[in-house]
């Protein structure tokens, strides 16, 4: 019961937020939250650390921006096109990366995403250093105009909730249980007869697809796709968000994304900050890895559990 | 002037030499990564940043203290190696009992810190470092700058020296034994934690030495490390971390292939290593010299 109340409270907060807070900021945070949730599906539930998720996020952003601006495709088709490309890339890269485990998996995904970065740097349609700017916001479906930030916020919120729902359903399905079994003990999952590689690949494609959806949605919000979206720093940022929030928790990446985005937003107001943003992010990385590896939501959940267990034990 | 495969030999051999230089940095860095991973179970993401630090320390020695290239070749790796030992004592030591991933994440955080500090101080553009051995020799089919020849010879010497120490000496035997089974080696009375610390320092010093060698060949820039380390990761995936000689051969080989690509299809020169990685993963997932683990 308490759980439903908590979710309803969060939903109400999300619906009312744009009345108080700048909608573009909220939308950016939501896009990163979806991105982090997609990343967390792999690291948190299958135990695969992908260090190249910017590839899917950024490629989807470029594709969506290009078809909306150059070909004047309808917005919805543009979103789907970007997401589909990310899914396809996830299929190819995922099939390659799952051939190795552990630390190699991280290095392979990072290398492949760097390849995508160089492609984006050299290809004609991406606009090189400038990126694709001033991407138009065509009406979404029929006459639903999204040039107002306020209207667009609810569209982005709907997309985010859809993504979160997909992830929630996935990890609470029998499929998700198998994923967790692979995370805990892969040889055992194999010996139980599961085709581990196929499960990993499906999870990888799903994660890449949702990361792509986040990237495409981001283009609608900031009307820009640029090299920042495919750089390795972006992959690092999504790792940071998930780590701060809590690996393997449903809401952790969301909390982490909001914390990191808020931090960047406030820090960027100071003129002296410059490259210190990197340093601050690095310090957070080190602190979280050394001191609280479960992340904020993970630690809170642990505290809540201990608190509710103790009175029960006393009875 | 005769041509080879439709390309003037000057260009071909010139790029080949540049490829060998890149390859020698790949080899030195992947060697360090492999030695560190073997003993610490940590993939040192900060390896590129420490390579960059090596180049910067050499630059600082020259500009603030007037210490030239040749002393810097010894002093800079010692300074950066000591810094590495400090990192190991302060941070890495607490992660050995955890999943490998945490080591990667921690060292990634260290990259952000180190790179951020240098970018704040020196911006993203490069600083020049004077060539200590200017001039060169025209060999007829190509022009050979002395410095480039020196880099290739020096790194080959260092790489094979490392191979010799690890594979052929008593110290190396301890190291290999500790990689296989640290508890047992400790039980025989060898101070394994100190060995781990020194190994990390050595790997880091190797990266810094590569950085000093790179300083006159390229510009000294805060970004030089992170661009390199991702390629080195691909090199490590291709070669596998099981074999020292394998790392050396893969590093030099990929450098040469990259050089050739620059001549025949320059657009792909940045990505050719990653493409080769993808092909190797399809054909021989454990890597060319790796054992399946």
Domains and CATH numbers, chain A: 18-314 (1.10.3470)
| Residue B164 touches partner A, C-beta closer than 8 Å | no
Task: Identify the closest residue of chain A to B101 by CA–CA distance.
Answer: A103
ipTM, two decimals: 0.89
Of B171, B167, B200, B174, whose CA–CA distance to B188 is shortest?
B174
Query: Which pair of tokens denotes residue B245?
Result: 């000689």
* B284 to A99, B121, B157, B237: CA distances (angstroms): 9, 44, 30, 11
Contact B92, B102 (CB under 8 A): no
Taking the C-alpha atoms of residue A249 and residue A124, their distance in angstroms, rounded to an integer, is 40
Close Cβ partners of A287 (under 8 Å, ≥ 6 residues apart): none
Compute the C-alpha angle B74/B77/B83, nearest 5°. 140
For residue B116, list chain A residues with Cβ-Cβ distance below 8 A.
275-279, 281-282
Dihedral of alpha carbons A232, A235, A241, A244, sign:
negative
CB contact under 8 A, A96 and B237: no
pLDDT in tens, B217-271: 888 999 899 889 999 999 999 988 878 888 899 999 999 999 989 888 888 888 8
Could you identify the residue written with the tokens 């997932």? B285
Taking the C-alpha atoms of residue A171 and residue A33, their distance in angstroms, rounded to an integer, is 17
A-interface mutation test, from B108, B121, B231, most A Cβ less than 10 A away: B108
| Residue B4 touches partner A, C-beta closer than 8 Å | no
Close Cβ partners of B99 (under 8 Å, ≥ 6 residues apart): none
The beta-carbon neighbor of A282 closest among B94, B109, B267 is B109
- For residue B18, the tally of other CB atoms under 10 A from its CB is 17
pLDDT in tens, B63-100: 999 999 999 999 999 999 999 999 999 999 888 888 88
Contact B287, B74 (CB under 8 A): no
Per-residue pLDDT, A140: 78
CB contact under 8 A, A286 and B113: yes
Per-residue pLDDT, B240: 82
Could you identify the residue written with the tokens 């982490």? A256
- pTM as predicted: 0.91
Which parts of chain A sit beneath pLDDT 70? 142, 310-315
For chain B, the average pLDDT equals 89
Q: Tell me the sheet residues that pair with B4.
A: B7
Which helix H or strand E contains B137, and what residues bound it?
strand B136-138
- If phi > 0 it is left, if psi is from -120 to 50 it is alpha, else beta; for residue A231 that is beta
Which has the higher per-residue pLDDT, B73 or B290? B73
Q: What is the DSSP letter of B127?
A: B
Q: Kindly write down the DSSP assignment for every residue of chain A, as one continuous string.
A: -HHHHHHHHHHHHHHHHHHHS-HHHHHHHHHHHHHHHHHHHHHHHT----S-THHHHHHHHHHHHHHHHTS---HHHHHHHHHHHHHHHHHHHHHHHTTS-HHHHHHHHHHHHHHHHHHHHH-TTTTTTT-B-S-----SSTT----SHHHHHHHHHHHHHHHHHHHHHHHTSHHHHHHHHHHH-HHHHHHTT--HHHHHHHHHHHHHHHHHHHHHHHHHHH--B-GGGGSHHHHHHHHHHHHHH-TT-SSHHHHHHHHHHHHHHHHTT-TT-TTHHHHHHHHHHHHHHHT-TTHHHHHHHHHHHHHHHHHHHH-
Domains and CATH numbers, chain B: 9-283 (1.10.3470)
Per-residue pLDDT, B227: 84
| Residue A112 touches partner B, C-beta closer than 8 Å | yes
Could you identify the residue written with the tokens 């439709």? B6
For residue B95, list chain A residues with Cβ-Cβ distance below 8 A.
289-290
B-interface mutation test, from A94, A101, A114, most B Cβ less than 10 A away: A114
| Residue B40 touches partner A, C-beta closer than 8 Å | no
Give me the residues of B, 105-124, that contact A with CB < 8 A. 105-106, 108-117, 119-120
Taking the C-alpha atoms of residue A48 and residue B281, their distance in angstroms, rounded to an integer, is 17
Contact A214, A56 (CB under 8 A): no
pLDDT in tens, B159-181: 999 999 988 999 889 988 888 88
The beta-carbon neighbor of B100 closest among A103, A281, A283 is A103
| Residue B173 touches partner A, C-beta closer than 8 Å | no
Helix runs in chain B, H state only = 9-40, 47-65, 69-90, 100-122, 146-168, 170-180, 182-187, 192-217, 224-239, 244-264, 272-283
Query: Which pair of tokens denotes residue A9?
Result: 């409270």
Contact B83, B204 (CB under 8 A): yes
Taking the C-alpha atoms of residue B155 and residue A52, their distance in angstroms, rounded to an integer, is 31
Per-residue pLDDT, B1: 47
Per-residue pLDDT, B293: 44
Dihedral of alpha carbons A202, A203, A206, A211, sign:
negative
Query: Which pair of tokens denotes residue B292?
Result: 């399946």
Residue B273 clears pLDDT 70, i.e. is over it: yes
Per-residue pLDDT, A154: 92
Taking the C-alpha atoms of residue B243 and residue B177, their distance in angstroms, rounded to an integer, is 14
SS3 B4: strand
For residue B247, list chain A residues with Cβ-Cβ distance below 8 A.
none
Per-residue pLDDT, A315: 47
The predicted model gives B191-217 an average pLDDT of 93
Taking the C-alpha atoms of residue B273 and residue B279, their distance in angstroms, rounded to an integer, is 10
Query: Which pair of tokens denotes residue B173?
Result: 């035997």
Instruction: Report phi then psi at A9, rounded to 5.
Output: -65, -45
CB contact under 8 A, B278 and A104: no
A-interface mutation test, from B101, B123, B261, B285, most A Cβ less than 10 A away: B101
Output b/e per residue, B195-228; b: 16+ Cβ within 10 A.
Answer: bbbbbbbbbbbbbbbbbbbbbbbbbbbbbbbbeb
- If phi > 0 it is left, if psi is from -120 to 50 it is alpha, else beta; for residue A49 that is beta
The beta-carbon neighbor of B105 closest among A100, A115, A239 is A239
Name the CA dihedral angle for A7, A9, A10, A15, rounded to a multiple of 10 degrees: 120
Compute the C-alpha angle B169/B211/B220, nearest 5°. 175
């Amino acid at each position: 019961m308490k759980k439903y109340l908590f979710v309803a409270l969060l939903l109400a907060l999300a619906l009312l937020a744009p009345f108080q807070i700048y909608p573009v900021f909220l939308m950016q945070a939501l896009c990163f939250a979806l991105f982090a949730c997609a990343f967390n599906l792999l690291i948190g539930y299958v135990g695969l650390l992908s260090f190249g998720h910017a590839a899917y996020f950024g490629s989807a952003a470029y594709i969506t921006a290009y078809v909306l601006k150059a070909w004047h495709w309808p917005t919805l088709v543009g979103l789907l096109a970007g997401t589909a490309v990310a899914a396809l890339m996830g299929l190819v890269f995922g099939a390659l990366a799952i051939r190795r485990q552990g630390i190699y998996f991280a290095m392979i995904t990072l290398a492949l995403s760097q390849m995508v970065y160089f492609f984006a740097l050299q290809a004609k349609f991406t606009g090189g250093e400038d990126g694709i700017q001033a991407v138009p916001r065509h009406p979404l479906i029929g006459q639903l105009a999204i040039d107002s930030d306020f209207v667009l916020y609810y569209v982005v919120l709907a997309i985010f909730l859809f993504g979160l729902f997909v992830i929630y359903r996935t990890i609470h399905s029998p499929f998700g249980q198998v994923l967790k079994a692979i995370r805990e003990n892969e040889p055992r999952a194999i010996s139980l007869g599961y085709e581990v590689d196929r499960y990993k690949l499906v999870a990888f494609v799903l994660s890449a697809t949702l990361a792509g959806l986040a990237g495409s949605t981001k283009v609608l919000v900031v009307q820009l796709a640029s090299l920042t979206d495919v750089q390795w720093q972006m992959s690092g940022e999504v790792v940071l968000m998930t780590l701060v929030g809590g690996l393997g928790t449903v809401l952790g990446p969301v909390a982490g994304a909001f914390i990191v985005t808020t931090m960047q937003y406030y820090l960027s107001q100071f003129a002296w900050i410059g490259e210190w943003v990197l340093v601050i992010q690095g310090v957070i990385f080190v602190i979280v890895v050394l001191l609280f590896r479960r992340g904020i939501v993970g630690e809170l959940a642990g505290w809540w559990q201990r608190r509710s267990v103790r009175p029960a034990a006393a009875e | 002037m005769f041509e080879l495969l439709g390309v003037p030999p000057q260009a071909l051999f010139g790029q080949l030499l540049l490829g060998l230089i890149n390859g020698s940095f790949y080899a030195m860095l992947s060697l360090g990564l492999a030695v560190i991973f073997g003993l610490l179970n940590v993939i040192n993401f900060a390896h590129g940043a420490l390579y960059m630090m090596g180049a910067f320390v050499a630059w600082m020695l020259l500009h603030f203290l007037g210490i030239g290239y040749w002393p810097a070749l010894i002093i800079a790796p010692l300074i950066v190696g000591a810094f590495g030992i400090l990192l190991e004592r302060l941070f890495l030591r607490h992660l050995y009992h955890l999943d490998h991933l945490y080591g990667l994440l921690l060292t990634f955080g260290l990259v952000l810190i180190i790179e951020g500090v240098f970018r704040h101080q020196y911006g993203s553009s490069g600083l020049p470092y004077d060539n200590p051995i200017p001039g060169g020799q025209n060999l007829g089919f190509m022009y050979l700058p002395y410095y480039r020849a020196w880099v290739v010879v020096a790194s080959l010497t260092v790489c094979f020296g490392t191979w010799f120490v690890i594979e052929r000496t008593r110290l190396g035997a301890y190291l290999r034994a500790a990689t296989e089974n640290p508890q047992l080696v400790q039980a025989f009375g060898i101070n394994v934690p100190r060995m781990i610390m020194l190994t990390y320092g050595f790997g880091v010093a190797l990266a810094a030495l590569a950085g000093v060698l790179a300083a006159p060949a390229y510009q000294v820039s805060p970004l030089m490390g992170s661009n390199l380390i991702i390629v080195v990761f691909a090199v490590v995936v291709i070669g596998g971390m099981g074999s020292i000689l394998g790392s050396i051969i893969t590093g030099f080989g990929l450098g040469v292939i990259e050089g050739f690509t620059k001549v025949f299809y320059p657009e792909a020169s940045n990505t050719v290593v990653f493409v080769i990685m993808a092909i190797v993963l399809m054909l021989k997932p454990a890597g060319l010299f790796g054992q399946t683990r």
